[in-house]
Amino acid sequence: MEFSNKQASKVRLCLIGNTKLNKMVHSLLPEFRDVADVTIIDSIFNDALHAARRLIEHDAIDVFMSAGANAFYLQDTLPVPVVALEMNQSDLFVALLKARAVSSDVLLLTHAHQLLQTDVGDYFQGLNITHKTYTTVDEAKDLFNNMQPSRFGVVIGSSFVCDLAEAADIPYVMVYSRESCRNLIQRAIDRAVTEKRRLEQTAFAEFLLENTQTASIITNADDIIVHFNPGAAQLVPGLKPNRRIDRVLDSRFLQSTSVSAESITLNERLCHVDKKPFEVNDELVGYLYRFRATPMSTISDAKSQSRLIHRSQKMGEVAKLLKVYGATPGTVLLQGETGTGKELAAREIHYASHFSEGPFIAINCAAIPSELFESELFGYADGAFTHSRSGGKSGLLESANNGTFFMDEINALPMPQQAKLLRVLQEREVRPVGSRRSIPLNIKFVAACHHDLMEEVRAGNFREDLYYRLNVFIVNLPPLKERLEDLEPLMTYFMNKIAEQYQINIDIDALIRELLPDFSQYHWPGNVRQLENLLERIVVSSSIYGLNDTFRQALRQIAPEIYQRAPSSRHNGHDGNTLQQVERQKILEALERFNGNRTRTAEFLGISPTTLWRRLKELEL
């Protein structure tokens, strides 16, 4: 890729050197007037550096030229390429022939980086050559002065060394020839053209990357990162130029010139990664990596007002009960399987109550350690116990005052804590640990459990007096398998919510038509929670595939639980024994699939490990 711009066809060079070198180069410039504009600065070292930096600031020079110590000094300090004059063996031979005509005692003083044949005296009978090297101008001065230059009949070196000899009134020969200076100019032109082409290509690549929405990385043929756009920088942590791609991606990407990889996790997002080679004149130049990632959530964690989505008569009756019971001061007990939406129902009660403008505080009784139960729920006074917070702490019950207090998995409370909660419900007040005063409570209490709480009472696991305090109003939430007519409205609601959350443009109606037949045949052990999680997985995955045949084939890997069906009798929903047998078979199959790993089995079934444990216990597995 080259840009042929006539107005910018000439390269811009700058020679920085001593007067003698500058005069020689100046005499050659007419040969290059059509291809280069050359600026000459008659200065060295610090003065030359300041002049060069001013030119760089104004973007006036493509390449600098210099010689000897000055060239290497500028190469170490300037950000623009510096081409050093190269002294070859023929230059030295010609200089020695000229020096021999002046004197047989020769001081040859050259820069340490100029590699020369040191036994040149063998070719010149009767010539006494002393050769010394230097790295800095100060070192050159010290060498020259310490050598007692007066004992030499002639000095050979750079233009700077020749100036030293001239100041000491000693004959000198400049080691550089017109041919080496001509070669310097040509090499500088070639370097400028190459650098200009590289900058044009880099600028064009940057322009293309900056103006594409797809996260992209360009590497060279060795998979060293050359450039990347902001999308890639945001997606791939640790991106930096001049690093090999395996510093940020799996090293297996280095093994092939062309790769198309699915399900690559980058920055906690699922990605599709394509690696494509690009060539110039059948020669591999580099690779283009492009990333299609699942979109990032743009909705904050703040929950908007909950909604009960339903079409079935069963859920319609539940919704009515929640509003009626919510308007009363009595405690409401919610019973339903895991994932049926008990917290959602509790929020509906909260919105229907006289406390709707107050706080909604929810706790999971199974998640609070027994030793922290009192301090968390009741709070504590200043100095109530060792390591307590200075000034004390308000409890969750006090925080819920004039609002709703929701206790999920109430059946998980140990007996001692049940007694303490019973007193709170009876007295409608709470006393912080270590305090002598009680705080009156004006709260709507809602409790929930995942199965019939009376069975826990009969089993001796739950206090009967607490049960009767909680079951003033009971609402049973039906499992999803008993209200399959709610599937379509639930799917519509969740898909719209997920598409908005992840900013995915998808044909929701088409996706529902694709999924609904199989969803209607599934028994949904994780209920509505499982449905929502599964739909999030499917909708986000659809952004990688699109709604096409590839996506339809991938669905069996994206949602395997839907397509690994048990016998059709499991869908009857009217035969409790059959359903129990099917559930038992389903759990056994999942346990076998994951080699008895309960965590992975629960995740596969869409339920919590605690729920799986209870199912195993209830089914005597």
Task: Transcribe 26-50 into DSSP letters.
Answer: HTTGGGGTTTEEEEEEE--HHHHHH
Rounded distance between C-alpha atoms, residue 153 and residue 165, angstroms: 10
pLDDT digit string, tens, across residues 296-324: 544 444 344 457 889 999 999 999 999 99
Mean pLDDT rounded to a whole number for the chain: 83
Compute the radius of gyration of the chain from its Cα atoms: 42
Condensed to tens digits (0 to 9), the pLDDT of residues 8-19 reads 568 899 999 888
Type of residue numbered 582? V
pLDDT of residue 303: 40
The pLDDT of 185-199, averaged and rounded, is 86
State the pLDDT at residue 13. Answer: 93
Predicted confidence at residue 226, as pLDDT, reads: 85
In terms of Cα–Cα distance, which of 224, 276, 203 is closest to 1? Answer: 203
Residue percentage of the chain with pLDDT more than 70: 87
Exposure string (b/e) for 567-576, b if CB count within 10 Å is 16 or more? eeebbeeeee
Residue 151 has pLDDT above 70, yes or no: yes
Task: Give 215-233 pLDDT, tens digit per residue.
Answer: 888 888 889 988 888 888 8
Residue 558 has pLDDT above 50, yes or no: yes
Q: Are 610 and 576 in contact (CB under 8 A)?
A: no
- With 70 as the cut, is the pLDDT of residue 206 above it? no
Angle of helix 68-77 relative to helix 137-146, nearest 10 degrees, comes to 150
Which of left, alpha, beta for 596 (phi over 0: left; psi -120 to 50: alpha)?
left
Is the predicted pLDDT of residue 285 greater than 60, yes or no? yes
Mean of pLDDT values over 343-364: 93
Q: Rounded to 10 degrees, what is the CA torsion of 452, 453, 457, 463? A: 180
- CA–CA distances in Å: residue 604 to residues 269, 368, 611: 20, 26, 13
Q: 152 is written with which tokens?
A: 């030499």
Q: What is the mean pLDDT of residues 452-462?
A: 89
Q: How far apart are CA 215 and CA 254, in angstroms?
A: 19
**pLDDT score of 211:** 65
Range with lowest mean pLDDT among 44-53, 248-257, 547-556, 611-620 = 611-620
pLDDT in tens, 461-511: 899 999 999 999 999 999 999 999 999 999 999 999 998 888 888 889 989
Query: What SS3 class is residue 258?
Result: coil
Reply yes or no on whether the pLDDT at 586 is more than 70: yes
Confidence of residue 295 (pLDDT cuts 50, 70, 90): low
pLDDT of residue 502: 85
Average pLDDT over residues 150-165: 88
Helices then strands, counting H and E runs in the chain, come out as 23, 22
Strand pairing class (215-220; 225-228):
antiparallel
